[in-house]
Amino acid sequence: MFPAVFYSLAPALAAVVGLCVGSFYNVCIARYLSGESIVFPGSKCPVCGHRLRWWENIPLLSFVLLRGRCRGCQGNIHWRYPVVEALNGLWAFLLIHKFPLLPGAEMEWLALWSGYMLIGGILIIVSFIDLELYILPDVYVYPGILLTLAFAFFVVEPFHGAPTFKEALYGAGIGAGVFLALQRLYRLLKGHEGLGTGDIKLMLILGALVGWQGLPMMILVSAFSALLVSAVYMRRQQQGMQTMVPFGPFLSLGAMVYVVAGDLYWELVR
């Protein structure tokens, strides 16, 4: 049991933690792209090698203070860094509104919130790698599958609005099965791949995360956001319909939206 003011400040504190953890996710993304260890060397500019001081590593604030430029070479800091930090901070903030921290249930809530944060972190990491390399790396996807199923089995059962373990299993099986069928059908009709195997494996995470009931809304949000972004991108780049846009980030977005806003969906369809 904490002082009453703690429960009032919990959303803001959660957002700050999310920002800080998002900074580490940036390290995971950048080091995967460069092939370096996430432990060594320390944080540095990828262009000039300038070693970052502690005050150059403050989530979001350092980007603003440095005006989006490296202190060493004055090169632009990649837009990915503030976006990942902001997304993870927002995710942390929205989770605590979806699952409020209540007196007497602190440890159960911490397990739930931490689990969702870890799964969301994996989705953010693989999504931004997918945007750059058009792959969903197994080194993050496979642990994500195990983590999500374990999370559904050990943690979420007591909480209203979170799928049970059985619902998570059905969601993973149905989601991955539908995408596998779509992949085979597209290959049969077109003679080449239209949906990556990585997306099918990702659906094991996402289906387990939202449960079978959440799949329709998740896919709807994913498809709508993908079409919208693709249309804007193709118009700006003046490229045709053959432009390749990875679907993994949009699937992840749809699942995360369902986790924090699924109640609104059910209110609309009832």
Give the span between the Cα atoms of 11 and 256, in whole angstroms.
18
Supply angle C-alpha 23, 221, 234, rounded to 5.
80
pLDDT of amino acid 243: 64
pLDDT tens-digit profile of 214-223? 999 999 999 9
To the nearest 10°, report the CA torsion of 5, 7, 8, 10.
120
**The pTM is what?**
0.93
Written as six digits, the tokens of 75 are: 């090169």
pLDDT tens-digit profile of 62-118? 999 999 999 889 989 999 999 999 999 999 999 999 988 888 878 888 999 999 999
How many percent of the chain have pLDDT more than 90?
A: 62
Least confident span in 106-110, 208-212, 245-249, 252-256 = 106-110
On the question of pLDDT at 207 being above 70, the answer is yes
Give the span between the Cα atoms of 43 and 56, in whole angstroms.
10
- What are the residue boundaries of the structural domains of the chain, listed by start? 1-98, 134-270
pLDDT tens-digit profile of 142-175? 999 999 999 999 886 656 668 889 999 999 999 9
Please provide residue 157's backbone torsions phi and psi, each rounded to the nearest 5 degrees. -50, -40
pLDDT band for position 1 (cuts 50, 70, 90): low
Query: 16 and 7 in contact (C-beta within 8 Å)?
Result: no
Name 230's Cβ contacts closer than 8 Å, sequence gap at least 6: 243, 245
> Which of 170 and 265 is assigned the larger pLDDT?
170
pLDDT tens-digit profile of 173-187? 999 999 999 999 988
Q: Is the dihedral of CA 153, 122, 140, 170 positive or negative?
A: positive
Highest mean pLDDT: which range of 44-53, 202-211, 232-241: 202-211
pLDDT tens-digit profile of 47-61? 888 888 888 889 999
pLDDT band for position 4 (cuts 50, 70, 90): confident
pLDDT of amino acid 80: 96
Q: Max CA-CA distance within the chain? A: 63
Mean pLDDT of all residues in 243-258:
92
Name 42's Cβ contacts closer than 8 Å, sequence gap at least 6: 51, 52
Mean pLDDT of all residues in 116-126:
98
User: Please, where are the H alpha helices in 49-137?
Assistant: 61-65, 80-98, 106-133
On the question of pLDDT at 7 being above 90, the answer is no
pLDDT of amino acid 265: 73
Which position has the token pair 């921290």? Answer: 101
Average pLDDT, the chain: 90
